[in-house]
Amino acid sequence: MIKINSKGQEEAPFELLVAIVLMGFVIFAGIMAMQKLNQDVCYSKVNASLEEMKQSIEVVAKSGGIAQKRVDFNLPQCYNLRSPILQIWVQQKSGADGKRVCTQLCSGVREQCWLLIFGDEVNPMVKCLEIPYSTVFGSTQDYCIASSENGEIIELDTPPANSQGQYGVIPAGTYNVFASEQATFPIVCAEKLRT
C-alpha cells in the first residue's frame, strides 16, 4: 500500500494563497504602470498642442502685421483626469515676482515677460513667450476684426475673474492667429473659427 504524505496536502492551500497574493501584486503594479503611461502620453499631446499655440503667437507677434497662423488647439479628453477646470491664458509678469518667474522660465535674466499658461490650479504647464513686452493681445474693442462670419475674436490675456486667481477659459478649437496692421506696436489677435 502507498502511503500519501499528508504534510504536502496541508501546504498546498498555503502555497495557493501565496501565489494568489503575488499575482494580485503583479496585476496591481501592471495597472499602475499602464495608468502612468497613459498619463505621460496625454501630457505629451497637451504639451505639443500648447507648443503649437506658443509658436504661432511668437511668429505673429514678431511679423509686423504680415503673418497669420491657423492653429488647432484641441485638447485630448484624457487630460481632464484631475480637475474639471482646465484653462489657458496669457499672462504678463513684471516687478520683483516677474523677475524671479521670468528668469526661471525664460532664457536669460529678465525683468518682465509674457507667459502662456495651461492647466488646472494645481499643476499648470507654463511656456515663456519670446515676444516683445509691448505686445498687446487684442479683443473686439480694439484693433481685431473677425475675418468672416464663422469667427469670433477671443481675448488671450483674460484677466483673473476673481480674487482666488481663477482665470477665464479660452476654449479649445481651431484658431486663426493674426497681427493687426492698425498700430505701431505688436497686436496679436485670436479668432476662434466655428466649424
Q: What is the pLDDT of residues 94-134, one digit of tens each?
A: 777 778 888 888 888 778 888 887 776 667 788 888 888 88
Give burial (CB, 10 Å; 0-12/13-18/19+) of 194.
exposed
Burial 165-176 (b: 16+ CB within 10 A, else e): eebeebeebbbb
pLDDT in tens, 5-62: 555 566 778 888 899 999 999 999 999 999 999 888 888 888 888 888 889 888 888 8
Q: What is the pLDDT of residue 21?
A: 92
Q: Which three cell numbers stand for residue 124?
A: 499648470
Q: What is the pLDDT of residue 140?
A: 52
Q: What is the pLDDT of residue 170?
A: 67
pLDDT in tens, 46-99: 888 888 888 988 888 888 767 788 888 777 777 554 444 445 666 777 777 778
CB 112 within 8 A of CB 98: yes
Q: DSSP assignment, residue 77?
A: G
Please name the residue that has the C-alpha cell 496541508.
10
Q: What is the pLDDT of residue 159?
A: 47
Residue 174 pLDDT > 50, yes or no? yes
pTM above 0.95, yes or no: no
Please name the residue that has the C-alpha cell 496536502.
9
Domain residue spans of the chain: 6-193
Q: What is the pLDDT of residue 34?
A: 94
Q: Does 170 or 23 have the greater pLDDT score?
A: 23
Average pLDDT over residues 174-184: 77
Q: What is the pLDDT of residue 33?
A: 95
CB 62 within 8 A of CB 186: yes
CB 119 within 8 A of CB 80: no
CB 185 within 8 A of CB 135: yes
pLDDT in tens, 129-164: 888 888 887 765 567 777 777 787 777 776 445 444
Q: What is the pLDDT of residue 22?
A: 94
